[in-house]
Amino acid sequence: MTHKANMSFISLYDIENNAVRSICTLLRKKGFKVSEIYFKNWVNNHFYLPKEKELDNLINMLRNTHTEIAGISLRASAYLKVAAMITEIIKKELDIPVIWGGIHPTLVPEECIEIADIVCVGEGEYPILELLTNISEHRPIDMIQNLWIKTQDGDIIKNALRPLIENLDELPFSDYTAQDKYYIDADRVSIGDPLLKRPLFRAMASRGCFYECSFCYNSAMKRIYKDKGKYFRYRSVSNVIAELLHAKRVFKNLKFIRFDDEIFIFDKGWIKEFCIEYKKEIDLPFECFLTPGNYEEELLYQLKSAGLRVVYMGIEGPNRINRILYNRVFSEDNILNNVKMFHKLGLNARYQVIIDDPLSTEEDKKGLFEFLMKFPRPFELYLFSLTVFPKTLLAEKLLAQGLIKESDIEGRATKTFSQLRVDLSCPRSKSDQFWTSLMVLITKNFIPKSLIYKVSKSKFLYKRPASLVIFSQICNFIKMIWVVFKIILKGELTFDMVKQWLNPKSLITQ
């Protein structure tokens, strides 16, 4: 009987990791023994290096599961140094091959192959299946598409990309009940899927994106996958509903669904069918992400009737910055029409804004503030600090203009660890402190807009914003207490949430 290769997948600081779950489920379905090891989880604006005990637990887990190949999923570029550290330890202690995959190795495989034995570029389901099949059947692996392979002589084999998976329905649903799942954090090793106790199930009905925003990894991925098939693909409604029914059976505390698609309204007919089936079969509140668009009010009403409660939309930057830096084509009028429509329908709207870009003038910052002040309350504002990811259009543009150095790009830089979501304690210029503090106040319903307008005209506070920063921090803290209280009332607060978000030194804006 053929011995089937045994592989373990290590997800760094990411217990959700859809890619690892999808690959492992497919491999199990094909009869392979695989283990999922979730190695620590991310914490808002803070980073904990692995402790010696955690690394020992990881090595022991690989040894106890008789792992023959270790896979490291590097979803975030900032975890590059941790991946390199773990790779070195695995090779020293176990002397087994290590394969890297994920967004970062896909964007910069030439750098990652210097450390790993194999790098998987792009979608990993079928390349990894072929790799394990060939190893199990003692066939060569040097011609497998999507894989870069370092030979014993130190040469690098760079295989071409295979076409994108066209029919997403052919992939099995992620398996949450398999026994070979482990969570390593602090001094503990937990057996079982760390997601199962959560009240939230995160789903994706599609892969890819219509747009090419310069700051997003999709701007790089689209070029990598040029001529390799349709970049944006979506599943059938029946397939999505079947997965959600499965989730309702296994997630005993399930209270709501979040669709993590880059954009959820991608086809009018699909949405209409989805609304009917979702209401009939699932009937849970759900959230989704939208980009500004000419959405029909009737379509949004159907989504709300089906269970839509929360909508996320990227505003990103000031109008000029959106055009010249972020490759965003949406007008302020278009965005404001969407904002008013969400408000009219009573949706919980959460808007995303990027600050700290190197090109915004005082007029840009003031213009963004005044534009956001036009939004009818209530709404939430998620502020992100501009983070530059490798090989994106934004990275290339800023490098070409001399506005950043290679050391400022995530991988070499680790800004994700300290200021992914904006907090007011981070050092900024007085101008940025002033305008950021004002934006923080916009969503605080207990602060009259008339007062915020008055403060925005203060030359004294503009030159000396320290007291405004403190006031905004206090208001933000009050708002966060109310947010947490509502989560508790809904029964949605978990220990994982507290651990991820309760960071007194870096209280995010809300």
Structure confidence at residue 491 as a pLDDT band (50, 70, 90) = confident
Average pLDDT over residues 241-262: 96
Asked whether residue 160 falls in the same domain as residue 221, the answer is: no
* Domain contains 355: yes
Kind of pairing between the strands at 188-191 and 181-185: antiparallel
Asked whether residue 15 falls in the same domain as residue 96, the answer is: yes
Asked whether residue 52 falls in the same domain as residue 176, the answer is: yes
Asked whether residue 13 falls in the same domain as residue 130, the answer is: yes
Average pLDDT over residues 76-104: 96
How much is the pLDDT for 502? Answer: 59
Q: How far apart (Å, rounded) are the C-alpha atoms in residues 477 and 485?
A: 12
Average pLDDT over residues 211-215: 95
How much is the pLDDT for 1? Answer: 56
Q: What is the pLDDT of residues 300-333, one digit of tens each?
A: 999 999 999 999 999 999 999 999 999 998 889 9
How much is the pLDDT for 252? Answer: 92
* Domain contains 157: yes
How much is the pLDDT for 447? Answer: 96
* Domain contains 379: no
Residue 508 has pLDDT above 70, yes or no: no
How much is the pLDDT for 152? Answer: 87
Asked whether residue 315 falls in the same domain as residue 395, the answer is: yes
Q: What is the pLDDT of residues 333-372, one digit of tens each?
A: 999 999 999 999 999 999 999 999 999 999 999 999 999 9
How much is the pLDDT for 505? Answer: 52
How much is the pLDDT for 36? Answer: 98
Structural domain of residue 450, as residue ranges?
423-497+505-510
SS3 11: strand
Structure confidence at residue 496 as a pLDDT band (50, 70, 90) = low
Residue 497 has pLDDT above 80, yes or no: no
Q: Can you read off the two tokens belonging to residue 3?
A: 């011995």
Q: What is the dihedral of CA 360, 365, 366, 372, to 10 degrees?
A: 130
Q: Can you read off the two tokens belonging to residue 297?
A: 């009010």
Task: State pTM to two decimals.
Answer: 0.93
How much is the pLDDT for 504? Answer: 53
Domains contained in the chain, number: 3
